Amino acid sequence: MTTYMDYTISPKRIRIIDRKVDGSKLHLKSLSIVSVGHLPNRTLYRREARFQHFAVVYIDGGSGTYRAGSGENQAVREGSLFFFYPGEVFDYGPEPGGYWDEYYFTIEGPRIGEWLSTWLPEPGSVIQVGTDDTRHSRISRIFLHMESGAASQVDRASLLLESLLYDLMHPASREPQRDHAGHAAKVMDELSEAAIGPFDARKLCERHHISLSTLRRLVAKHTGYPLNEYVHRLKIAEAKNILLNTDQPVKSIAAALGYTDVFYFSRLFKKYVGVSPLLFRTTV
């Protein structure tokens, strides 16, 4: 993970995750995420920008404009979706003095051509897809998979992105399973908040009227991880943010995340990140 300040882009910390595995190691050859990014409170406006890869951009808040080539200047607002692609120039960004919250997904592979020839026919247009509570959960899982660095998880992230994009473009396709999918999304949304404090799986199950085995199957289906590992990864991801953005001691961070044993927390951190918490803070 890369998290850093770049005041030319945003006054807040931006987050960029590049694919860490060689493309030849991936099982999914037709579609792969190259990088993902979150640019909160973006203020930078770009003119005549060019891109080597196809990119999906989702605006979670704020407003601005987007133009592809010699086309019209199109309004961008909260819940807008638009695209970048090779061979064209783009002007885009918030208005002077304004901002927007941007998530982007840079991708490659022949599957993109299939999208363009079937269900994504106008990539130079701004599409209003709206906002809902489940979207952040799905985006967070994509980021989590990319952050793992494992080839299988990059494949999962790519498939999750395709599913998310298809649902955004064709919301009616979700109608037959709306109630079931909505309930699962609510469970995953609450689970995503388990990073802070102790995690009690049984209480979560009681609140959502599901069994512990159902919760485990749900987590495995949506993330590819066993329940306990997914919760640990959520907590370690939050620990990395706290380490980068505060001066809190490791013991306090561990306690805030629900770990009473700081040595156990440090071992978990090194297992998932590769270095100790203190070394991560001083080297990233």
Q: What is the domain class of 179-284 according to CATH?
A: mainly alpha
Please state, as a whole number, how many other Cβ atoms lie within 10 Å of the Cβ of residue 116. 15
H helix and E strand count, the chain: 10, 10
Beta-carbon contacts of residue 131 (< 8 Å; ≥ 6 apart): 60, 78, 79
- Residues 268 and 233: their CA atoms lie apart, in Å, by 9
pLDDT at residue 3, rounded to an integer: 61
pLDDT digit string, tens, across residues 3-23 = 666 778 989 889 999 998 888
Share of the chain above pLDDT 90, in %: 59
Q: Which two tokens stand for residue 183?
A: 């309930």
pLDDT (mean) for 92-96: 95
pLDDT band for 105, please (50, 70, 90 cuts). very high
DSSP state of 237: H
Which CATH topology does 2-169 take?
A: Jelly Rolls (2.60.120)
pLDDT at residue 173, rounded to an integer: 46
pLDDT at residue 190, rounded to an integer: 85
**Is residue 150 over pLDDT 90?**
no
Number of Cα atoms under 13 Å in the Cβ half of residue 134: 14
| Residue 105 contacts residue 143 (beta carbons within 8 Å) | no
**Is residue 176 over pLDDT 50?**
no
DSSP string, 35-101: EEEEEEEE---EEEE--SSEEEEEEEEEEEEEEETTS--EEEETTEEEEE-TT--EEEEPPTT--EE
Q: Domain residues of the chain, as ranges?
A: 2-169, 179-284
pLDDT (mean) for 32-40: 96
pLDDT at residue 177, rounded to an integer: 43
